[in-house]
Amino acid sequence: MPELPEVEVTRLSFASRIAGAEVVSVRMGLPLRWPLGCSPDALVGRRVAGVRRRGKYLLVDLVQPGGLLLVHLGMSGSLVFAAGLPAPGRHDHFDLHTTAGQLRLHDPRRFGAVVYAASEADPVAKKLLGRLGPEPLTDAFDLAVFRAALKGKRTAIKQVLLAGELVVGVGNIYASESLFLAGIRPTTPAMRLTGPRVARLHGAIRQVLANALSQGGSTLRDFSSADGQTGYFQLTAMVYDRAGEPCRVCTQPIRSLRQGQRSTFYCASCQKP
């Protein structure tokens, strides 16, 4: 699944090019996870004011009149933005034709979504965005608040991170990597973490996500940005998807387990309960 770094890399790859463009037409393919929420023709003639990100959602702001499109890449989705794209294939489910180029959502598994909302106060937008935690690479991700919130969580720390309520966008890859960097076993109950360990985790989350952004995100299967670039963070991953391989720090074999139907990777020597 594209996580926060991949979504931000995608945004950066086309946001400046589509800003100011006018919507010429909209094509809908097979149904996605949620309906668009308006007639495609209702978007024609509007201009793209800009593209923001909230967690794993891209927010395409529209003007004349207002509104926004909330775009989620789901499990396997990707966006491409270019002029003169070829005819859509069976996995191309949304095309936003603009005067600057064509934005296309490609999603083989159709877990992605493009949803229209009149504003962020719209019930549709509030349902999708309202419970998201603070952005990890901003000042909103406050250490004291994070520490206090963890004290009330009996759940395993990795599951708390994936839930997205205390900090948004730390998906499966980067949760495993952050916990390794902080030296914390993924199964440790969140409430058992001491102040110093929480501080290390807080810093590790920021460091891992910043590193992933600088490396274009992770391309495990088919992720690429809207201009076709792949990421290479996975080449330097310390534990993710390395079960049985030697730890890059202590040489002990990396272990794996299942948590909430997701694969977790960790080093039993470097990461303490």
Residue 22 among the catalytic residues:
no
Question: What is the C-alpha radius of gyration for the chain, rounded to an integer number of angstroms?
Answer: 20
Cα(147)–Cα(200) distance, integer angstroms: 11
Beta bridge partners of 219: none
Active-site residue, from 56, 110, 197, 255: 56
User: What is the side-by-side strand order in the sheet with 57-63?
Assistant: 47-54, 57-63, 68-72, 113-117
Catalytic site includes residue 5: no
Task: State yes or no: is 3 an active-site residue.
Answer: yes
The angle that helices 195-214 and 143-150 make with each other, rounded to 10 degrees, is: 120
The two structure tokens encoding residue 268: 């039993």
Its sign, for the CA torsion 167, 170, 175, 180, is: negative
The contacts found for 194-197 with CB under 8 angstroms, 24 or more apart, are 195/147
- In contact, 56 and 169? CB cutoff 8 Å: yes
Is the preceding omega at residue 88 within 30 degrees of 0, hence cis?
no
Which candidate in 3, 8, 135, 177 is catalytic? Answer: 3
User: Is 136 considered catalytic here?
Assistant: no
Angstrom distances, CA of residue 210 to CA of 88, 138, 204 = 34, 11, 10
Please tell me the distance from the alpha carbon of residue 202 to that of residue 164, in angstroms, as a whole number.
Answer: 14
Per the CB < 8 A criterion, the answer to whether 166 and 132 are in contact is: no
Q: How many residues does the chain have?
A: 273
Could you list the active site residues? 2-3, 56, 262
